[in-house]
Amino acid sequence: MITWNMHAHTTVSDGELSAEEVIQRAVDEGLSGIAITDHFPFPYKPEEPVDWTTSRRVFERHLSALDALRQKVDGLEILKGAEVEYVPSLDTLAHWLEGLDLDFVLGGAHMLDGWLVDWSEEVFCRGQKIFGGFRAAIECYYEAVGELAESGLVDSIAHLDIVKKYNPDARYFNEDEPWYHQAVEHCLQRIAATDVAIEVNTAGLRVAVGALYPSAWILRRARELGIPVTVGVDFHRDYDRVSAGLTAAEKALRAAGYDSYLIFRGRQAEALSLGR
């Protein structure tokens, strides 16, 4: 049974509930542990509709508040995490992360050359124009993810195939096409050559695409390549559960041949068994 959620947002970034409220929900829903992983940091561009992230100053204060909550809350382990953004200059990311006392760092690519991958369907479609087609945009996305893994700055890759978010019924591209398989395969090979995990993220179950990130065939291939996994709900909304989709994630992991998942304390991995 999966009793940890390694991906949750609070009002410090784009979540609707405070850390205290998210943690209370996790207790009420019977979780053993939760990683609070607010977006941090992000290079703002005023012309773009980006308001999901936070400054270093606010983030540091937030980490201290999590320390205080740890003292207060019984029966739930609280991990201090961050969901960091792919930026073309990864030295900048290294600099942002320096000196932060974090248990767990998720890495995600949400924005490439001004293309916001998972913001809205309309904005997703702009990728076609920016890159000269969805194929080029998506290939660029998987390149960025590979680079992020190789940087050694992150512990796990968030929502690996988030590019399918606005692609229900293969509306814009087809996952079965050879070029897509190649882009994913190349990215997985790069991840497999590092110690970085990938995330099974349940947020896709709650949007039109109605599927976990990543797709079952990608998870199977990741297993073959020996890539470990973390499991995250990507909790944001008041109306969702902090443990939403964990049963489905467990089923998908077993089907792909996994018998454990990772949690991270002080950036060190520990494998937890899925049990019988």
List interacting residues with Zn ion (CB under 5 A): 83, 108, 158, 234
DSSP string, 104-170: EEEEE--EETTEETTS-HHHHHHHHHHHTSHHHHHHHHHHHHHHHHHTT--SEESSTTGGGTT-GGG
Q: In terms of C-beta density within 10 A (0-12 exposed, 13-18 middle, 19 or more buried), how is residue 235 classed?
A: buried
Q: Please report how close the Cβ of residue 7 comes to Zn ion at its closest, in angstroms.
A: 6
Closer to Zn ion by CB, 190 or 236: give it: 236
Q: Please report how close the Cβ of residue 6 comes to Zn ion at its closest, in angstroms.
A: 11
Q: Please report how close the Cβ of residue 110 comes to Zn ion at its closest, in angstroms.
A: 6
Q: Please report how close the Cβ of residue 53 comes to Zn ion at its closest, in angstroms.
A: 10
Closer to Zn ion by CB, 207 or 255: give it: 207
Cα(232)–Cα(244) distance, rounded to whole angstroms? 9
* CB-CB contact of 146 with 187 (8 Å): yes
Closer to Zn ion by CB, 44 or 179: give it: 44
Q: Please report how close the Cβ of residue 4 comes to Zn ion at its closest, in angstroms.
A: 16
Cα(211)–Cα(189) distance, rounded to whole angstroms? 23
Closest residue to Zn ion in the complex (CB) = 108
Determine how β-strand 197-201 pairs with β-strand 104-108.
unpaired
Residue 126's contacts (CB-CB under 8 Å, 6 or more residues apart) are 115, 116
Closer to Zn ion by CB, 84 or 219: give it: 84
Closer to Zn ion by CB, 11 or 181: give it: 11
